[in-house]
Structure 1
Amino acid sequence: MRQIKDVLRLKLELHHSHQHIAASLGISKGVVAKYVKLASAAGLHWPQIQAMDETALHSRLMVPP
């Protein structure tokens, strides 16, 4: 199950800590940091992310090098 959008909503809209997000979603703080970094590198902000579905968001963030 992909949780990218949940991670980014909790971080970018609700301003939760990486530790809180990780505990809430049952993932590591490293995964939280990775998703936040990828969204930032892609130039995405919450309003744009909110309009995307999980598949489109994953495709936008996980672009091969």
Structure 2
Amino acid sequence: MYRHYKGRQSSPRQDLYLIGSVHTNRFRCIPEFVPHAIWLMTDPILDRGNCECEYCAKVPQRVIPENLGF
């Protein structure tokens, strides 16, 4: 995880990111990471074709919370 500061130095916006691996981008929120975490815990061969996260499945980020009921 890392914290990214953006904006004015006097009052920057702080965004937290979770880095998956060299093959994935930065997860920007928990709902975005959940499908990837489920895949990591349940797929015995770790076939990325079975992962439903935004980065592995090439799904728009806005769809992830909708699929999880948020």
Check whether TM > 0.5.
Answer: no
TM interval, short-chain normalised = under 0.3
Highest RCO, 1 vs 2 (Cα 8 Å, sep ≥ 6):
1
TM-score by length of 1: 0.28
Between Structure 1 and Structure 2, whose CA radius of gyration is higher?
2
- From the two aligned structures, give the one with the greater helix fraction: 1
- From the two aligned structures, give the one with the greater strand fraction: 2
TM-score by length of 2: 0.27
